[in-house]
Amino acid sequence: MRRPAALACALLGTALAALPCAAGDNRGERQALVFAPTRTLLLLIPAEQTTQMLAQYPLPGTDAASEMEADLARSCSGGEGQMTTRGFFPAAAEKVWRVLLYPIALAVRDELQKYATVSEARASGNYYRGIPAHGATALTNRISCVRFVRFAALTEGDEQVALDFVASVRLDPAHDAIRLAPLRLFIAQAGAKSVNGRYSVAISMGADAVWRDEYSGHEGQLFEHTIATESVDLKSGSYLKYFPAQELGVRVPVIPTSFGVDRSHDFGLAEFSVSVAELGTAPTTLKVLSEMLPDTDQKATQLMIAAALTGVEGH
């Protein structure tokens, strides 16, 4: 039986010629995943502004007057729309791998990142609508949907949409939770390379808030969930999907409200975030080598794993 280092060298042999040389020997460092820069935007959509905010940044090749778009608008405006162990080597060999082959690992990682990207956008807003002094006291959401946009170019003023995602963030009927539900996904241009035009996409949503009770203040992450995963083929053009009514999404905690806050105005300030992982089909050699690499960025890696699983299930 071959020793671990010899086995690794045998697997790497055919790939070394195709990989760029690793600069220097930085085996004492663990570097985080670094993706190409993107220009993104996150819109928090109040029900009464649905038409205007969905009309911003029109999607190329789509019919804004279609019935599916009408359903999407109804979902966000409050109507009854469509919403309704890893280990290539034994543990004893892992140390040998890290010490002897780390420079090669850096080259593999850099090459593999051309086939993957994670883009993110954040936006803050008051989630709840102000309550009139003599009106109903039940909480109602002011923000009904979020819209994530990744632009094709980094240049400000170039509004060509490369990726667009809309999701509902409405209160559940019992008002004891928020229900995250995907509504529409559009991709015209991927953010990463692919050898065959196929991509696996995973989308997560999160929210953070600061609030106070009677005696102390609090801050923290309220939720973060992967709410959509798709296997996408862009060889023949752009991809557009409206999610069906049976995809009800996931229940997450409500936005907390501070003690004594003035509820006559909109309240419940929170910072929402959307992250999108796009994973293209990489050459087989890189896939094999990536199994040997240690995780470097837990959050990005988890989202990439979700995208990769979608690719496996979709083919």
Comparing CA positions, the residue from 41, 269, 258 lying closest to residue 142 is: 269
pLDDT for 270 equals 95
Residue 304 contacts by C-beta under 8 Å, 6 or more apart in sequence?
116, 118, 202, 277, 279
Q: Are 186 and 62 in contact (CB under 8 A)?
A: yes
pLDDT for 165 equals 97
What are the DSSP E strand ranges found in the chain? 40-46, 116-128, 143-151, 161-171, 178-187, 198-212, 217-233, 239-242, 250-252, 267-280
pLDDT for 157 equals 78
pLDDT for 245 equals 64
pLDDT for 234 equals 92
Residues of the chain with pLDDT under 50: 1-31, 79-101, 294-296
3-class DSSP state of 257: coil
pLDDT for 285 equals 62
For residue 134, how many C-alpha atoms fall within 13 Å in the half-sphere facing its CB? 0
- Note if the pTM is more than 0.95: no
State how far the Cα of 267 lies from the Cα of 127, in Å rounded to an integer: 6
| pLDDT, tens digit (0-9, with 9 covering 90-100), for 284-304 | 665 655 565 544 455 666 666
Task: Give the CA dihedral 300, 302, 308, 310, nearest 10 degrees.
Answer: -120
pLDDT for 263 equals 85
CA dihedral (312, 282, 295, 298) positive or negative: negative
pLDDT for 171 equals 92
